[in-house]
């Protein structure tokens, strides 16, 4: 039994590596997966969809760093993703910079912007924090839509000038390179998140999630730690924005909206807040379903259905929203929580030895949301 457990652990350690190798060699496969994808696996259309899924897996993981690991319910994560795509786009298209300096500028903005916003927003907590982040993200959205000086392109979005982009990332045939870039981005985010959540700071973040007052009593300043995670998550999202820009060849104002952040929240809760692979899986699954359900809605099979079935099926967001509500009700902890419970049942032991079950963060955050302003309940006696 004991060796079996060890093998299981070793296998679990190896699993991310196996997934990485499969993702890396996937473009060499000409496998046809009818129903799942339209073309063969290495057709540009399929690779484009897969790359989009991987990017949002990474961005969802960066959001999970805030929400799942630290318990900060930010409604403005879209701002940093949008800043990444628009700043890089402006540097490439308007300033005519190369990709490397544009990436450097985006990195600087990706650090400074969340530093400024977080510096203000983290002075309040609970719902007030959520509202300040929501409002600042709304500022970004308004500025992009106002199209100051014709820079952001307003509602039309901003097309990327491909002259400044290395040839390897331009053109339909080179979709495979952008796909590998997306794999690299996801690996980077996963590695960084694995590293920081295991570090001393990561433990403080989880302690803040559990009980911020106790962290203060231990003599630590939660403010600095929260600002650190806010900036890190913002930077990772901004880098995701750059990869998104290279994949789609432009920036769209949809990435600035509050709905975009709500989408990230749905991804993380769907996969399992507080779990690394859960958040990634949630992001991948949500993006895949969003894209495939749109295709399904336009397919003849759905168009021929009677109206009462066709109308709800034609809106992916209706189905995803409903799925999300069902997950909140019946699968607390999302996919990661479900897998964890199944594993426990098979191993025949109860939880409670190794801290909180991954993905059950939502339940633990329950009391904290009202604690920011007004209706705070008394915390435990510390």
Partner 1 sequence: MDTVVLLAITGLGLAALYFLVASGLSLIFGLMGVLNFAHGAFLTIGAYGTWWASDHLPGAGSTGWGFVSAVAFGVAVGTLVAALIELALIRPLYERHIEQVLVTVGLSLALVALVRAVWGADPHPFPRPEWTQRTTSVLGANVPNDRFLLIGSALVVLVAVLAFLRFTRFGLIIRAGVENRAMVTALGIDVRKAFTLVFAIGGAFAALAGALGGIYLGSISPGQGTSLLIFAFIVVVIGGMSSITGAAVAAVLVGLVQQFANYYAASGVGDLSVVLLLAVVLLTRPSGLTARVA
- Residues binding partner 1: number (CB under 8 A): 49
Binding to partner 1, residues 320-359 (CB under 8 A) = 320-322, 324-325, 328-329, 332
Those residues whose C-beta lies under 8 Å from the C-beta of residue 167, and which sit 6 or more positions away, are: 174
Q: Which residue, chain included where needed, has tokens 């900036």?
A: 231
Q: Could you tell me the smallest distance in angstroms from the CB atom of residue 367 to partner 1? A: 8
Rounded CA-CA distance 201/195 in Å is 10
Q: Could you tell me the smallest distance in angstroms from the CB atom of residue 123 to partner 1? A: 6
The answer to whether the beta carbons of residues 49 and 18 sit under 8 Å apart is no
Neighbours of 97 (CB within 10 A): 17
Which helix H or strand E contains 251, and what residues bound it?
Answer: strand 250-251
Q: Which of 116, 142, 305, 309 binds partner 1 (CB under 8 A)?
A: 142
Tell me: does residue 362 bind partner 1 (CB under 8 A). yes
Tell me: does residue 259 bind partner 1 (CB under 8 A). yes
Q: Could you tell me the smallest distance in angstroms from the CB atom of residue 94 to partner 1? A: 20
Binding to partner 1, residues 16-75 (CB under 8 A) = 73
Distances (CA, A) of 328 to 74, 114, 141, 300, 318: 19, 29, 29, 32, 15
Tell me: does residue 374 bind partner 1 (CB under 8 A). yes
Tell me: does residue 318 bind partner 1 (CB under 8 A). yes
Those residues whose C-beta lies under 8 Å from the C-beta of residue 244, and which sit 6 or more positions away, are: 52, 55, 81, 84, 85, 255
β-pair partners for 251: 158
Residue 133, phi then psi, degrees to nearest 5: -65, -40
Q: Given the complex with partner 1, which of 46 and 261 has the nearer CB atom?
A: 261
Q: Which stretch binds partner 1 (CB under 8 A): 162-170, 190-198, 211-219, 363-371?
A: 363-371
Q: Given the complex with partner 1, which of 141 and 177 has the nearer CB atom?
A: 141
Q: Could you tell me the smallest distance in angstroms from the CB atom of residue 271 to partner 1? A: 13
Rounded CA-CA distance 43/175 in Å is 9
Q: Which residue, chain included where needed, has tokens 């699993």?
A: 15
Q: Which stretch binds partner 1 (CB under 8 A): 88-96, 121-129, 242-250, 275-283?
A: 121-129
Q: C-alpha angle 13/17/23, rounded to 5°?
A: 145
Q: Given the complex with partner 1, which of 284 and 361 has the nearer CB atom?
A: 361
Binding to partner 1, residues 71-90 (CB under 8 A) = 73
Q: Could you tell me the smallest distance in angstroms from the CB atom of residue 376 to partner 1? A: 10
Q: Could you tell me the smallest distance in angstroms from the CB atom of residue 203 to partner 1? A: 22
Rounded CA-CA distance 283/256 in Å is 18
Q: Given the complex with partner 1, which of 92 and 267 has the nearer CB atom?
A: 267
Q: Which of 19, 220, 258, 289 binds partner 1 (CB under 8 A)?
A: 258
DSSP 159: E
Q: Given the complex with partner 1, which of 105 and 258 has the nearer CB atom?
A: 258
Q: Could you tell me the smallest distance in angstroms from the CB atom of residue 307 to partner 1? A: 9
The answer to whether the beta carbons of residues 143 and 154 sit under 8 Å apart is no
Q: Could you tell me the smallest distance in angstroms from the CB atom of residue 139 to partner 1? A: 5
The answer to whether the beta carbons of residues 105 and 91 sit under 8 Å apart is yes
Q: Given the complex with partner 1, which of 23 and 112 has the nearer CB atom?
A: 112
Tell me: does residue 256 bind partner 1 (CB under 8 A). no
Neighbours of 207 (CB within 10 A): 17
Rounded CA-CA distance 359/342 in Å is 13
Those residues whose C-beta lies under 8 Å from the C-beta of residue 61, and which sit 6 or more positions away, are: 186, 189, 190, 193, 236, 276, 279, 280, 283
Q: Which of 131, 176, 220, 227 binds partner 1 (CB under 8 A)?
A: 131
Tell me: does residue 143 bind partner 1 (CB under 8 A). yes
Residues making contact with partner 1 (CB under 8 A): 73, 120, 123-124, 127-128, 130-132, 134-136, 138-139, 142-143, 145-146, 258-259, 262, 265-266, 269, 311-312, 314-318, 320-322, 324-325, 328-329, 332, 362-363, 365-367, 369-370, 373-375
């Amino acid at each position: 039994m004991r060796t079996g457990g060890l093998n299981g652990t070793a296998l679990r350690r190896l699993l991310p590596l196996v997934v990485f190798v499969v993702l890396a060699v996937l473009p060499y496969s000409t496998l046809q997966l009818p129903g799942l994808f339209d073309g063969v696996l290495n057709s540009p259309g399929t690779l484009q969809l897969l790359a989009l899924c991987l990017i949002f897996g990474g961005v969802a993981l960066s959001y999970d760093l805030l929400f799942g690991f630290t318990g900060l319910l930010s409604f403005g994560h879209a701002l940093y993703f949008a800043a990444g795509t628009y700043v890089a786009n402006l540097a490439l298209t308007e300033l005519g910079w190369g990709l490397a300096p544009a990436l450097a500028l985006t990195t600087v903005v990706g650090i400074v912007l969340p530093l400024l916003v977080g510096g203000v927003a983290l002075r309040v907590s609970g719902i007030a924090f959520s509202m300040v982040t929501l409002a600042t993200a709304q500022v970004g959205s308004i500025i992009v839509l106002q199209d100051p000086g014709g820079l952001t392109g307003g509602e039309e979005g901003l097309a990327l000038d491909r002259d400044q982009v290395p040839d390897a990332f331009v053109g339909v045939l080179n979709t495979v390179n952008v796909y590998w870039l997306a794999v690299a981005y996801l690996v980077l985010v996963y590695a960084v998140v694995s590293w920081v959540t295991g570090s001393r700071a990561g433990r403080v973040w989880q302690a803040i999630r559990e009980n911020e007052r106790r962290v203060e009593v231990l003599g630590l300043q939660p403010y600095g730690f929260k600002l650190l995670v806010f900036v890190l998550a913002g930077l990772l999202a901004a880098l995701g924005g750059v990869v998104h820009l290279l994949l789609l060849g432009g920036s769209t104002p949809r990435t600035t909206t509050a709905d975009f952040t709500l989408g990230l929240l749905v991804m993380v809760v769907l996969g399992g807040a507080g779990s690394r692979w859960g958040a990634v899986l949630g992001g991948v699954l949500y993006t895949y379903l969003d894209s495939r359900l749109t295709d399904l809605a336009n397919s003849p099979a759905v168009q021929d259905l009677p109206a009462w079935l066709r109308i709800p099926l034609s809106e992916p967001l209706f189905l995803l929203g409903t799925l999300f509500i069902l997950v909140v009700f019946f699968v607390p902890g999302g996919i990661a929580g479900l897998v964890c419970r199944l594993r426990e049942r098979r191993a025949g032991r109860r939880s409670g030895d190794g801290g909180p079950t991954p993905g059950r963060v939502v339940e633990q955050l329950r009391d904290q949301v009202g604690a920011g302003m007004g209706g705070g309940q008394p915390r435990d006696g510390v």
